[in-house]
Structure 1
Amino acid sequence: MSTIKAQFDLQTRLYNNVLEGINDVESNERASQTVNHIKWLAGHLLTTRQGLSQFGGLPEDNSLDEFFGHGNGIDESKNYPPLALIQKRWNEISDKISQGLGRLTPAALSGQSPAKTPIGDDTLEGFLGFLMHHEAYHIGQIGILRKYLGKEAMGYQ
């Protein structure tokens, strides 16, 4: 579990790093009609992470699900919330969730996963491991879109 928590904490920081210097107008720009924009990716990551709110003792906030919830693709007709709000919410919940993840017992981690994942491990630990992959995947996509916008590469510090 210490590896998953370390990944969680790293990705909390990388999410902020990859969004650094991107304004709201830029966050809505798409590289093509088949590529999500940065704002959608950032919001999708937030709504996925909000699903872990229970581990931080937080109520799950579903207020942005209409934009970014599971199964919702990008919709050009929607007026998406500001990137700054999405990032603020990410930062508000991440520390508490991290603390909660650090308190998970081996028994809890070996318990049943709340959802199926493609990795074939139906435990909570397997589920959390897949979510860390999911976050890294989308942070990487935002990193590529940063370069498309002419920004410097994301930093790790």
Structure 2
Amino acid sequence: MNAKDVLNATLDTSSMVLNKYLEDLSDADLMKRPGEGCNHIAWQLGHLINSEKHLLEAVGADSGVELPAGFAEKHSKESVGDDDPAHFCSKQEYLDLFDKVHAATKAALEKLTEADLEQPGPEYFRSMFPTVGNVYVLIATHSMMHAGQLVPLRRALGKPVVI
């Protein structure tokens, strides 16, 4: 297994976990906040999608994914307090966009060589993610960082353990 295989496996695992946690949640459930000071799940999903697209493009890959008009703004740090469901997508829309961006990430990764992964990452991120490979690790694990917030919400909603 080489680095690209590991990154692909991590992308797949992260996606599987996120999908398992979301599979029985409703659109209304996505507007709930897992705890005080947490962002609701709809915002988090948009953040994950927007971030993956941005990171992919930051390492020089063309994602080829066009997000709906205003999507980035609706999922920005400035919008974290917005609880109006009309400003957010349905669960299916988020899942479709997530899949498109994830497919673009996997396609971009496929084109890279091992040497490409060792190239410097974006300058503004280099202190934490010094190489292109490190940025792909972030992309592959970012949804897992947020998945932990879904568990307390699932418990509060009386949802079963899925993993």
TM range (shorter): 0.7 to 0.9
CA distance in 1, matches of 2:154, 2:17: 13
CA shift for structure 1 position 83: 2.3
Aligned equivalent of 2:72: 65
Q: Match of 1:127, as an amino acid?
A: V
Aligned equivalent of 2:31: 28
Cα pair distance change 1:24/1:117, threshold 3 Å: farther
Cα pair distance change 1:33/1:133, threshold 3 Å: same
% identity of equivalent residues: 22
Residue ranges of structure 1 left out of the alignment (5+ in a row): none
Q: Match of 1:116, as an amino acid?
A: F
CA distance in 1, matches of 2:146, 2:73: 19
Q: Deviations 1:82-119 (Å, cap 9, x if unpaired)?
A: 22211111123323421321331122111111241664
CA distance in 1, matches of 2:23, 2:126: 31
CA distance in 1, matches of 2:63, 2:28: 34
- Of 8, 11, 22, which aligns to 2:11? 8
- Of 22, 38, 41, which aligns to 2:41? 38
Q: Is the 8 A contact 1:111 1:124 kept in 2?
A: yes
Matched residue SS, 2:74: helix
Q: Deviations 1:118-140 (Å, cap 9, x if unpaired)?
A: 64x41111122233332211022
Matched residue SS, 2:125: coil
CA RMSD of the aligned region, Å? 2.5
Aligned equivalent of 1:75: 81
Q: Match of 1:133, as an amino acid?
A: T
Q: Match of 2:29, as an amino acid?
A: E
CA shift for structure 1 position 77: 5.5
CA shift for structure 1 position 80: 1.8
Q: Deviations 1:30-65 (Å, cap 9, x if unpaired)?
A: 244412111111111111122226647524537410
Q: Is the 8 A contact 2:15 2:143 kept in 1?
A: no
